[in-house]
Chain A
Amino acid sequence: QQQVKQSPQSLIVQKGGISIINCAYENTAFDYFPWYQQFPGKGPALLIAIRPDVSEKKEGRFTISFNKSAKQFSLHIMDSQPGDSATYFCAATNSGGSNYKLTFGKGTLLTVNP
């Protein structure tokens, strides 16, 4: 059972364009939704995260949009740069649960062409 569905699997964007990655979840107990960025040969690193009490969170060129009723959230990368080329994972968890663990989407390979 895949609790977090991520799309697209891969994405190619021109420099300066907007990259959009979407995720949908099933478990209504989830209350923390982070995005991780992974470069080749490295471990994933937290990029930005949101809790469902807000509909949007922005940090620099990165924005998370959250739709609680649709159980969907998305990552927008504005003015995409070649250095943004990486694999992006969305994740979700119930932070108030007794055993804290993240459920990940399958990842999106983003390529930003110069």
Chain B
Amino acid sequence: DAGITQSPRHKVTETGTPVTLRCHQTENHRYMYWYRQDPGHGLRLIHYSYGVKDTDKGEVSDGYSVSRSKTEDFLLTLESATSSQTSVYFCAISGGWAEAFFGQGTRLTVV
């Protein structure tokens, strides 16, 4: 399995609080991604990174920010969590030529 670790794996948080999810890779891949998965919507790209300090928005980026200060770490921050951000979040990595590898996911519940 590709070396991807997401933390935490589960989190319950209150509306209005900030939340940070972490993705750590040991593959030295250039590209890192954050997706959210919701029933009926499949996998939707939130933000992605194509290098250290190089990030761009995906299709559902509102309410989310990211940072990548090191090749191995990609952080996703919900600045003020809302109930609509209750979801399963997946980190993925890629070398940029073919396969993307996914982490195990983080189940986030905003109450």
* Partner-B contacts on A (CB < 8 A): 6, 9, 32, 34, 36, 41-46, 49, 89, 95, 98-107
CA gap between A101 and B93 in the complex, in Å: 10
Query: Contact between A101 and B102 (Cβ–Cβ < 8 Å)?
Result: no
Whole-angstrom CA separation of A98 from B51 in the bound complex: 12
Are the CB atoms of A107 and B42 closer together than 8 Å?
yes
**Across the interface, which residues of A come within 8 angstroms of B58, CB to CB?**
101
Contacts of B66-81 to chain A: CB distance below 8 A: none
> CA–CA, A36 to B90, complex, Å?
14
Closest Cβ of chain A to B81, distance in Å, is 22
Give B residues with C-beta under 8 Å from A.
Answer: 31, 33, 35, 40-45, 48, 50, 56, 58, 90, 92, 94, 96-105
Residue of B nearest to A108 (CB): B42
**What is the CB-to-nearest-CB distance from B52 to chain A, in angstroms, rounded to a whole number?**
15
Contact A99 B56 (CB under 8 A): yes
**A96 nearest CB neighbor, chain B only:** B97
Flag if B102 contacts A43 (CB, 8 Å): yes
B104 touches A106 (CB 8 A): no
Q: 10 more A-B contacts (CB under 8 A) besides A101-B58, A107-B43?
A: A32-B98, A43-B90, A43-B102, A43-B105, A44-B102, A45-B102, A46-B99, A101-B45, A101-B48, A104-B42
Q: Count A-B pairs with CB separation below 8 Å.
A: 60
Q: With A43-B104, A100-B96 given, is the CB distance from A89 to B43 under 8 Å?
A: yes
Give the residues in chain B near A41, CB-CB below 8 Å. Answer: 104-105
Chain A binding site: helix, strand, loop or mixed by DSSP? loop
In the complex, what distance in Å separates the CA atom of A33 from the CA atom of B9?
Answer: 29
* Closest partner residue, chain A, to B91 (CB atom): A43
Cβ-closest 3 pairs across A and B:
A43-B102, A106-B42, A100-B96
CB distance from A102 to the nearest CB of B (A): 6
A11 to B58, CA, bound (A): 29
Please judge, given known A-B contacts A44-B43, A89-B42, A107-B42, whether A100 and B102 are in contact too, CB under 8 Å.
no
A9 to B50 alpha-carbon distance, docked (Å): 32
Contacts of A95 in B (CB 8 A): 96-98
The CA-CA distance from A98 to B35 in the complex, in Å, is 20
